Chains A and B, each alone.
Chain A
Amino acid sequence: MRLQGVGKRYGTGRMVLDNVDLYLAPGEVVAVTGGNGSGKSTLLRLLVGVARPTSGTISGRPREVGYVPEFFPDDDSLSALSYLVHMGRLRGLTTSDAADRASRLLDRLALSGGRRTPLRRLSNGNLQKVAIAQAVLVRPKLFVLDEAWSGLDVDAHSVLSELVEEVAGASGRVVYTDHRQTVGATRVLQVVDGNLVELDTEPVLVTRLVLNPPPDTNLDEPVALPKALSGAMSTAHDGEKVFVQVKRADTDQLLMAVLADGWSVIRVDEPVAVPSGGAS
């Protein structure tokens, strides 16, 4: 799949993307980084075909596209299961096949709150699971995820990473944005002033930490995390424990800072090598 000279502007506004060239080879996992409003989401919308380029061409888009948008709407009164069955049928699945696959995916992602509960009564994390499930009901050849990891609990976090690996392993192309992590990406691109810049993907050593916050910390409040954790490549929590990935070089400093803030350390893993890229 190839983007040639692709530019995009909305209405008469500025060019959000300008003259972007990109080739996506089968099996690639591409992380796209960039600040808020840099055009990451626009790039993803162009890739899946939801948006049309103002200039340039996009060719070779496969038929099987899975798209997880940044915000899944929360006002739908369909249940998770019936929504997924409808989406599966749009893909050409039979009703029973769609229901089977949807159930298996929801089990795998551990949807809580009930698969027959109206979507609007599910929590954001669970809505996100439905959004992911609809994209992989049929294994996509192009899997595009916009901040899909944020808001997921730890288990679903790793299930999503598995799903990404499965798609890539079956010669699919994966493109995702995420604020923190570029882990698992074979390439990291940054959107700078409407252009794509390839970032270094030399592996760096990353340490995984499991921390316990002080009592009465509301982990869903970003401000509850100590400042030191903003130096981490990624953080996630399961409601009690906080899981952190940090560069080997920054590990000691981060540990000292969180200990000083009254946190305790449960586990520190051996450093492992991951592609670097946008992690800073």
Chain B
Amino acid sequence: MIPIVRYTVAVMVHSQRFLPPVLLFVIAIGTFAHDAGTEPVIQIFAPMTAVAFVSAAWMTVALATAEDPVQRSITAVNAGRAWSQLVAVVLVVLGTFAVLIVLLLALPVVVGNRDADAVKLLVGALAMLTGAGFGAAVGLPTSRLVIPRAGFALLATLALIVVFLLIRGLPPVNTLIILLSEEGTAPADMLLPEIAYLALTAAVLAGSVAVTHTIVRRQD
């Protein structure tokens, strides 16, 4: 698995397709965390979870077809297992967002925000990781691997993003944002539902890889 992840990182870096979604996340940090030294940190995490979801979906869509189809088939032959390419894309997206999330979490700590304790940072880390993971789960089956026509693929991605972001009470992204933005819940009490949403996301992500793999195989 390590060689295919390294190769996917190389393709990502050379194609520079990771830049727009990463920039979106960084700009959002500037927007929602510009008072990172003073504002309550949970208040930062709610919108950033939404941003992690959207930009991870974007990055997944971009990475899934970063390789030319012919090159992709060579890679599949050399790797021996076609699904490992999809798993590598997911791992690279999650790895990128792990770095971005750590950067964001470090910000209030570095500037000396006294509200930033370990529990709250953990709440934020879980929420944003769940957002990014679910973004990857949405991105894979709506990438051009599955929907070859670029316009339809984009519409499908946007539709799923809107659905999971805006339909009230639909887990895990929308419910996470509500959980984080509602006043009165103690941060420690957020952890348990967060872990449930993370588990749900992991299951959906695994299903998304499996479904995408099956559809892609059928098209070949």
Q: Which of A232-259 contact B (CB under 8 A)?
A: none
Interface size class of A (residues with CB under 8 A): 20 to 34
Q: Which of B94-110 contact A (CB under 8 A)?
A: none
| A89 near B68: Cβ-Cβ < 8 Å | no
A157 within 8 A of B: no
Q: Which residue of A lies closest to B220 (CB)?
A: A51
| A86 near B74: Cβ-Cβ < 8 Å | no
Q: Which of A68-97 contact B (CB under 8 A)?
A: 69, 71-73, 75-78, 82, 86-87, 89-92
Q: Which of B145-172 contact A (CB under 8 A)?
A: none
| B77 near A86: Cβ-Cβ < 8 Å | no
A48 within 8 A of B: yes
| Number of chain B residues whose Cβ lies closer than 8 Å to a Cβ of chain A | 22
A14 within 8 A of B: no
Taking CB atoms, residues of chain A closer than 8 Å to B68 are 73, 75-76
- Majority secondary structure, B binding face: helix
- Majority secondary structure, A binding face: loop
| B74 near A134: Cβ-Cβ < 8 Å | yes
| A69 near B74: Cβ-Cβ < 8 Å | yes
Q: Which residue of A lies closest to B68 (CB)?
A: A73
Known contacts A50-B220, A77-B15, A82-B10; is-contact A90 B70 (Cβ 8 Å): no
* Nearest chain A CB to B200 CB, angstrom units: 32
Q: Per-residue CB proximity of A40-54 to B under 8 Å, as 1/0?
A: 000001001111100
A6 to B32, CA, bound (A): 58
24 contacts between A and B (CB under 8 A): A48-B77, A52-B217, A67-B73, A69-B70, A71-B70, A73-B68, A73-B71, A75-B68, A76-B14, A76-B71, A78-B10, A78-B11, A78-B14, A86-B7, A86-B10, A87-B74, A87-B78, A89-B3, A89-B7, A90-B3, A90-B79, A90-B80, A131-B74, A134-B74
Beyond A49-B77, A51-B220, 17 extra complex contacts between A and B, CB < 8 Å: A45-B73, A48-B77, A49-B76, A67-B77, A69-B70, A71-B70, A72-B71, A73-B68, A73-B71, A75-B68, A77-B14, A86-B6, A90-B3, A90-B4, A90-B79, A90-B80, A134-B74
